[in-house]
Amino acid sequence: MPRTVLVIGSINADLVVTLDRLPEAGETVTGGRFARHGGGKGANQAVAAARAGARVRFAGAVGDDDFGAAAIEQLTAEGVDVGAIARLDGEATGVALIAVDREGRNQIAVASGANARVDGALVARALEAAALAPGDVVLLGFEVPDAAVVAGARAAAEAGARAILNPAPARDLPDGLLGHGVLLTPNGLEAAALTGETEPAAAARVLARRTSRPVVVTAGADGAVLADGDRMVEIAAPEVEVVDTTGAGDAFNGVLAAGLAAGRGVEEAARRAVEAASASVRRAGARG
């Protein structure tokens, strides 16, 4: 039976404007179409994992506003266990302002809101309820503070579970993280920021040596590169008509976590994740 995926991450309301082209600095572009979607990298990943068949729990926080209530409803409707999502009095739910052009490229500005309050204590309570076991997967991201990321990785290592960290948006890896056997899944830009290497394969090799664990660097339409020990595997992405690239990386990470929780090897899980990410860009919104 598939094990549990515990996502420790962010929840946002995505406010999306689709335009013919993205604005330059200081420029207003009119004629767009507006839509509101559930978002936040953590929540998007949880939905992707649930749709891929995983049993998913979520640990995070929202505000005491309508956006927060809607976010919890949306996750519940997707079959995600929301029992460890805190509703914080006097706090706003995270919001992402997203502009998307006709080529599917995007610009994103985020107000973190309640996500910035996801701390080690909140994660500890969620972990106690989750009762992690070998074979479970803890999926982490950088839209919540370092303390939450490290607490999740440490708990996974202690339980014999697997930890995945999607280091997005890019920042330095927290002190003490790498000792917990984390599988990293940066995109090309994030991998370059972490290593100084601009080629995904070179960056993956550096990170795999640093972590002593497999590393997957995603490369958009070019698929992904897996570094696993001395082995390098290039995973091609199918050609698709792009509508909106928002959330493609989240789809990848959620499906990767679901695959590992189902007992698949890293390469097989990564191949399925690349296919899922490619399918996700054919639809508008971070969750399709």
Active site residues: 250
- Whether residue 238 contacts residue 278, with contact meaning beta carbons closer than 8 Å, is answered with yes
Which whole-number Å values give the CA distances from 208 to 142, 194, 256, in the listed order?
Answer: 19, 12, 17
Q: How far apart are CA 156 and CA 240, in angstroms?
A: 36
Q: Which tokens hold the place of 13?
A: 């309301």
Torsion of CA 21, 23, 28, 29, to 10 degrees: 0
Angle between helices 188-195 and 200-211 (to 10 degrees): 60
Q: What end-to-end distance do the CA atoms of the chain give, in Å?
A: 27
Q: Are 141 and 45 in contact (CB under 8 A)?
A: yes
Q: Phi and psi at residue 23, in whole multiples of 5°?
A: -70, 150
- Residue ranges of the alpha helices (H) in 131-185? 146-159
Is the distance from CB of 253 to CB of 165 less than 8 angstroms? no
